[in-house]
């Protein structure tokens, strides 16, 4: 008995699957690497997107009736931005100033779509320009592959970059999003994020004047979990200035894990819920 088959294209690779197959099971049976979880249409982990109309579908809930062309990621469309200026802050931080259809991107999360030929298709970064200024993106060497870092460092003025702007995730609006815009905030940036200091100071200026007396730190000592003495001193000063009860701590870094934060906060009578991690 012959069985009708369909071609399912997933991110450019084609698979021959049988009519009536469950899409997730049939792809997994062909050793396709595909995220999945509950297999009951609840968790959304197996979501794929139809190319063309970008419609999402849950592969665990899809019975194959026709050929499909799919992608694991939501297809992003970029706008063209010109590179206006490239400035290498130091060996590890590069700022690109861009000219494009919008410069209203303070704190927006941006995705740079790399040209074909690069093994990795995109790079997520953040706009660090002040509101109304030309878009500036900060690229950190320690967060990029060698290939991507090389690509960005070789860019020249007038080169084009294709960029997709995601306005749903704004660090610039973060204090509001965290519902802490009327509370005293201590911002701590670990050493590898020192290049964000001007940006964070701009963000904190959005606080009411009486709460604008904040402490923003960017110290080498804070990047090392073995050396927490400086952090203890900073917390002590902030508690004296603002009181421990309302103080909100925003930590932009990864050098100090939550397990190191816990005893420190307890010592100063600060609840863990008053600490906010920013990646
Ligand atoms: S695996 Fe959870 S929705 Fe499909």
**Residue 207 Cα to ligand 1 middle (Å):** 42
Same domain, 136 and 212: no
Enumerate residues lining ligand 1, CB below 6 A: 36-39, 41-46, 58, 60
Segment 227-245 mean pLDDT:
84
> What mean pLDDT, rounded, does the chain reach?
80
Same domain, 143 and 189: no
Same domain, 86 and 128: yes
Q: Is 2 helix (H, G, I), strand (E, B) or coil?
A: coil
- CATH number at 98 reads 2.40.30.10
Residues 6+ apart with CB under 8 A from 17: 5, 6, 7, 8, 23, 26, 27, 30, 64
pLDDT digits (tens, 9 = 90+) for 53-63: 778 899 999 99
Q: From the alpha carbon of 61, which atom of ligand 1 is closest?
A: 4
Confidence at residue 62, expressed as pLDDT on a 0 to 100 scale: 96
Same domain, 206 and 139: no
Residues 6+ apart with CB under 8 A from 213: 241
Q: From the alpha carbon of 37, which atom of ligand 1 is closest?
A: 1
Q: From the alpha carbon of 46, which atom of ligand 1 is closest?
A: 4
pLDDT digits (tens, 9 = 90+) for 108-131: 667 888 876 665 677 888 788 876
Q: 8 to each of 19, 48, 76, 147, how far by Cα in Å? A: 11, 12, 21, 31
Chain-centroid distance of CA 148 in Å reads 16
Asked which of 106, 141, 169 is the last residue of a domain, the reply is 169
Same domain, 62 and 20: yes
Tell me the residue range of the domain where 217 lies. 174-278
**Given pLDDT bands bounded at 50, 70 and 90, which one contains residue 102?**
low
Question: Cα separation of 143 and 261, whole Å?
Answer: 23
Segment 1-5 mean pLDDT:
71
pLDDT digits (tens, 9 = 90+) for 130-154: 767 788 888 989 888 898 999 999 9
Question: Comparing 220 with 93, which gets the higher pLDDT?
Answer: 93
What is the tally of structural domains in the chain?
3
Asked which of 19, 46, 71 is the last residue of a domain, the reply is 71
Query: Which residue out of 22, 58, 62 has the highest number of ligand 1 atoms within 8 Å of its CB and is therefore the one to mutate?
Result: 58
Same domain, 190 and 220: yes
């Amino acid at each position: 008995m012959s069985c009708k088959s369909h071609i399912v294209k997933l991110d450019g690779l084609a698979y021959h699957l049988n009519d009536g197959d469950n899409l997730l099971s049939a792809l997994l049976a062909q050793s396709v690497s595909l995220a999945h979880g509950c297999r009951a249409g609840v968790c959304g982990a197996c979501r794929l997107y139809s190319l063309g109309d970008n419609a999402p579908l849950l592969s665990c809930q899809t019975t194959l009736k026709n050929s499909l062309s799919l992608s694991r990621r939501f297809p992003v469309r970029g706008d063209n931005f010109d590179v206006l200026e490239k400035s290498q802050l130091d060996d590890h931080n590069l700022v690109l100033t861009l000219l494009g259809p919008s410069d209203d991107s303070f704190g927006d999360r941006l995705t740079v779509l790399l040209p074909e030929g690069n093994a990795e298709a995109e790079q997520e970064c953040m706009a660090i320009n002040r509101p109304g200024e030309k878009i500036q993106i900060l690229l950190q060497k320690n967060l990029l592959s060698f290939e991507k870092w090389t690509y960005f460092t070789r860019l020249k003025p007038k080169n084009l970059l294709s960029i997709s702007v995601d306005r749903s995730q704004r660090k610039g609006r973060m204090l509001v999003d965290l519902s802490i815009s009327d509370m005293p905030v201590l911002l701590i940036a670990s050493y590898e994020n020192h290049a964000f200091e001007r940006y964070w100071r701009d963000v904190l200026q959005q606080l009411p004047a009486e709460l604008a007396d904040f402490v923003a730190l960017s110290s080498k000592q804070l990047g090392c979990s073995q050396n927490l003495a400086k952090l203890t001193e900073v917390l002590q000063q902030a508690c004296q200035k603002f009181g421990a009860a309302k103080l909100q701590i925003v930590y932009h870094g990864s050098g100090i894990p939550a397990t190191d934060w816990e005893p420190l906060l307890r010592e100063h009578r600060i609840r863990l819920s008053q600490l906010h991690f920013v990646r």
